[in-house]
Amino acid sequence: MPRYKLTIEYDGEPFVGWQRQPNGPSVQAALEEAVFAFTGERPPVQAAGRTDTGVHARGQIVHLDLSSERPVETIRSAINFHLKPQPVCVLVAELAPPGFHARFSATWRRYRYRIINRRAPPALDRGQLWHVPGSLDVDLMADAASVLVGHHDFNSFRSTSCQSPSALKTLDLLQVTRHGEEIHVDVGSRSFLHNQVRIMVGTLHLVGREQWTRGDVETALAARDRAHAGPTAPPHGLCLMEVRYELGADRKSDAEETVDDQ
């Protein structure tokens, strides 16, 4: 059975999240229904990151198995045809390399969190921006972000419902930059704990408001307790930008699980 790797873009707003659920439309169900309409088959569609309700993606990676080989351009355009008018589309379809698994083979994930930092609420892009009306000091946020980069126990920075057995993660990238009225928080790691990105953003926003110092972030990290970190930033500012795969990497030798529920 040939396995296909798809790169997906979606607007998370109308969905209950990536994962198929009884309480509303999911991105996974939208894709699985489109695959069925095209092929008459119902292979499960597996994703690199199980994004939460309202979280967007510009570079989600999924895989699925079909009973026979089909041209990748046909797969891409036929699934897109059947996805209409839902805000989900296949950017690229490729034959997956042997042993490829969208979730378990992923070695790096990058998210972007967008804040609009001005008095007025957004009229454009309002579904993709967290509106923070009070002033935010980006230099203080960037400095405090450096506390979190590296190999740490991120127990303070995961939701209480997170089921990962270990909170040890290596955060490679946590960059805070201003672009006019917008602030971008770019975050990269092999994998993340549940809500980790949004809790880090909610915490850094307290630093930007000068309610917290860099030292408070150090204390929160050391506490290894969710109650000591800042609030969880709202989902709609978050977007999964990119997932990378390093072929030949032996994932079993790596102590970090490659799960990712944002």
> Is 137 tagged catalytic?
no
Complex with its own copies: residue 55 or 145, whichever CB lies closer? 55
* Position among 19, 21, 80, 159 found at the interface with its own copies (CB under 8 A): 80
Residues 191-230 as x/- pattern, contact with its own copies by CB under 8 A? ----------------------------------------
Minimum Å gap between C-beta 141 and its own copies is 23
Give the residue ranges of DSSP H helices in 47-195.
Answer: 72-83, 138-148
Pairwise CA distance, residues 248 & 239, whole Å = 28
Complex with its own copies: residue 44 or 133, whichever CB lies closer? 133
- Site membership for its own copies, residue 37 (CB under 8 A): no
| Pair 174, 243: CB distance under 8 Å | no
Residue 111 assigned ligand-binding role? yes
* Residues 46-65 within binding reach of its own copies (CB under 8 A): 56, 58
Complex with its own copies: residue 90 or 162, whichever CB lies closer? 90
Instruction: List C-alpha distances in Å: 25 to 16, 48, 50, 84.
Output: 6, 19, 14, 14
* Position among 98, 123, 161, 165 found at the interface with its own copies (CB under 8 A): 123
Complex with its own copies: residue 88 or 187, whichever CB lies closer? 88
* Position among 64, 78, 88, 147 found at the interface with its own copies (CB under 8 A): 88
* 134-163 exposure pattern, b = at least 16 Cβ within 10 A, e = fewer: eebebebbbbbbebbbeebebbbbbbeebe
| Pair 219, 156: CB distance under 8 Å | no
* Position among 69, 125, 153, 225 found at the interface with its own copies (CB under 8 A): 125
- How buried is 120 (Cβ within 10 angstroms: 0-12 exposed, 13-18 middle, 19+ buried)? exposed
Pairwise CA distance, residues 90 & 6, whole Å = 6
- Span of 33-41, 80-88, 143-151, 213-221 interacting with its own copies by CB under 8 A: 80-88
Minimum Å gap between C-beta 73 and its own copies is 8
- Span of 118-126, 141-149, 198-206, 211-219 interacting with its own copies by CB under 8 A: 118-126
Q: 2: number of CA atoms within 13 Å, CB side? A: 13
Query: Among 50, 11, 54, which residue's Cα sits nearest to residue 243?
Result: 50
Pairwise CA distance, residues 187 & 174, whole Å = 5
Which letter does DSSP use for residue 232 in this model? P
Instruction: List C-alpha distances in Å: 174 to 34, 112, 242, 252, 258.
Output: 36, 10, 15, 26, 19
# of chain residues touching its own copies (CB under 8 A): 24
Please identify every residue annotated as catalytic: 52
Footprint of its own copies (CB under 8 A)? 9-11, 56, 58, 76-77, 80, 87-91, 118-126, 128, 239
Annotated binding site: 111
Annotated binding site for substrate: 111
